């Protein structure tokens, strides 16, 4: 879609396949890598993560960013736009799609506490299962 296009993508009806993955690399200078549906490393993401590491980002932050960028790669695949052609239109639609979609449940360790249970040390509840955002970006109840 050109930058000046007024066509509105129906992001609520979009089906985004769970393709690609984030992998541990075993390399301390590049601890995580993102691979696409074909198993090919996404070079732009690797370069970005490498710069973050040089700027003193923790491995946990790198992993987090890699998973967020995986969602972006999956979205771009669903709308059939290559990474290098993505525009502000795709960024806008990605943000809107994130607001309308429910995150898939993540794999939890068998010994992990239940979502929403209280942490015995801090007394704070653990994150509960996510709910889609309602109008205005507030949690839908």
* Residue 92 counted as domain residue: yes
Closest C-alpha to 3, from 83, 81, 78, 89:
89
* Residue 15 counted as domain residue: yes
Beta bridge pairs of residue 118: 125
| Distance in angstroms between the alpha carbons of the first and the last residue of the chain | 35
Containing structural domain, residue 61: 11-100
* Residue 68 counted as domain residue: yes
* Residue 16 counted as domain residue: yes
**Count of domains for the chain:** 1
* Residue 50 counted as domain residue: yes
* Residue 131 counted as domain residue: no
Question: What pLDDT tens digit does each residue of the chain (141 aa) get?
Answer: 555 666 788 888 889 999 999 999 888 889 999 999 889 999 999 999 999 999 999 999 999 999 999 999 999 999 999 999 999 999 999 999 999 887 666 677 787 777 778 888 888 877 765 555 555 554 444
């Amino acid at each position: 879609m050109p930058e000046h296009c007024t066509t509105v993508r129906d992001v609520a009806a979009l089906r985004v396949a769970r393709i690609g993955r984030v992998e541990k690399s075993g390399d301390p200078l590049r601890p995580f890598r993102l691979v696409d549906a074909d198993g090919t490393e996404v070079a732009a993401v690797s370069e970005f993560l490498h710069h973050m590491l040089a700027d003193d980002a923790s491995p946990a932050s790198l992993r987090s960013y890699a998973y967020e960028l995986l969602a972006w790669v999956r979205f771009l695949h669903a709308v059939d736009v290559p990474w290098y052609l993505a525009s502000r239109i795709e960024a806008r639609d990605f943000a809107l799609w994130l607001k309308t979609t429910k995150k898939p449940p993540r794999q939890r360790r068998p010994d992990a506490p239940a979502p929403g249970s209280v942490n015995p040390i801090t007394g704070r509840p653990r994150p509960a299962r996510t709910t889609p955002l309602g109008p205005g970006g507030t949690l839908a109840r």
